[in-house]
Amino acid sequence: MDRAVQPLEGPVKKKISAKTVSNEIVIIKEMFKHDYRWVYTKQNPVEQLEKMKINKLEIEIMDPAEYQKLLGKSGSLYETTFLTAILTGVRDGELWGLQWGDMDWNSKRLFVRRSVWNNNPQTPKLTTLYVISICRIILCLN
């Protein structure tokens, strides 16, 4: 793998993930497919090139005792943030993208309208606006 990835690294020698390499392979294959179709090349040299196998990591879920410990050590500044994340399951970028206007206190619903990535707001991964019913614990926080 290192040999295949090396030419893609450029002057800065940093590791490139298998996902990045696979994405680049898709682009290269598409380019040569069109070159061949438009008769710019006599053959497609990357036709047999396959994407890299991507091993997905298993996510470790915290147990209730770990949640309690996290909330106990978080202090009042982050307690609401962590509790919102724990009880709603929103992604971290969506959590940081929440604004007061996203909360409907009357219907007890939270609207996920945006996400934040590298301090830039963007649409969330789910392309449609989604709504989360909020339990009383969040509504009762100070």
Which own/partner pairs from 81-85 qualify as long-range (CB within 8 Å, at least 24 positions apart)?
A: 83/137, 83/138, 83/141, 84/110, 84/138
**Distance between CA atoms of 11 and 14, rounded to whole angstroms?**
9
Give pLDDT tens digits along the chain (142 positions). Answer: 445 545 555 565 677 888 888 889 899 999 999 988 898 888 888 888 888 888 888 888 888 899 889 888 888 878 888 888 888 888 899 999 989 898 888 888 888 888 998 999 888 777 666 777 776 556 555 4
**Residues 6 or more apart in contact with residue 15 via CB below 8 angstroms:** none
Note the pLDDT of residue 1. 44
Please name the residue that has the structure tokens 């390499």. Answer: 21
Question: What pTM, to 2 d.p., does this model score?
Answer: 0.55
